[in-house]
Amino acid sequence: MKSYQSEADNKNNAGLDLTNSKESQFFKKQTLYTLHNHSQVHTNSPTPISQVPQYSDNLFRLFVKHFEYVYARPYDIIMIESCDHLVKVYVGVDGKAKLTMRHNTLKDFLSQLPQTYFLRIGRFCAINIQRLTGGNCNNQVFEFDFKISIKLKHSVSHTVFSNLGI
């Protein structure tokens, strides 16, 4: 009787091992497939992967006052200054610069913005080169849209102004 039970147990265990190995192979194939083919849609998934929105469609939530927020598009932002993990964002609206803040580092915030619009000019500052119209290297001032002028908190070298053509 012992031999009969052990044979039955071996058959059941062999069947379980076979199904487990099939499942593990299946998951390994899926995992390898997803790691190596990011752009392709799986045939097993019924919903396609959504497209990433363009930079101009992104809205950024910026802090103004206590529990008061403003939403801005990348083109509205004219200058960004860094203060550790807090970023001061200057938004140009109706010929005036409105100071807002965002809890982010300058590097992370610039990675979310389009590179064709923004140029990092120093350790603590980035500007929107699409809206830049002038500046003064002696006073450390940038002018945007021929109306808005902002003085930098941290000094930037004269070569930055000359490379920008100011």
10-13-14-18 Cα dihedral, nearest 10 degrees: 180
State whether 109 and 157 are in the same domain.
yes
Q: Is residue 53 part of a domain?
A: no
| 25 pLDDT higher than 90 | no
| 125 pLDDT higher than 90 | yes
Residue 70 CB partners (closer than 8 Å, separation 6+): 61, 62, 64, 91, 98, 100
What pLDDT does 84 receive? 82
DSSP bridge partners of 148: 144
State whether 80 and 159 are in the same domain.
yes
Residue 158 CB partners (closer than 8 Å, separation 6+): 137
Higher pLDDT: 13 or 148? It is: 148
pTM (two decimals)? 0.64
**What is the chain's mean pLDDT, rounded?**
75
State whether 15 and 95 are in the same domain.
no
Residue 64 CA to residue 1 CA, distance in Å, equals 81
Residue 160 CA to residue 149 CA, distance in Å, equals 17
User: What 3-state class would DSSP assign to 139?
Assistant: coil
Q: Is residue 52 part of a domain?
A: no
| Mean predicted confidence (pLDDT) in 132-139 | 92
State whether 73 and 150 are in the same domain.
yes
Question: How do residues 42-86 score in pLDDT, each as one tens digit?
Answer: 445 444 444 444 555 688 889 888 888 899 999 999 999 998 889
CA distances in angstroms from 21 to 14, 17, 25, 38, 41, listed in the order given: 10, 6, 6, 26, 26
User: What 3-state class would DSSP assign to 159?
Assistant: helix
State whether 39 and 66 are in the same domain.
no
Which residue range forms the structural domain that includes residue 36? 1-47
Total domains present in the chain: 2
| 146 pLDDT higher than 60 | yes
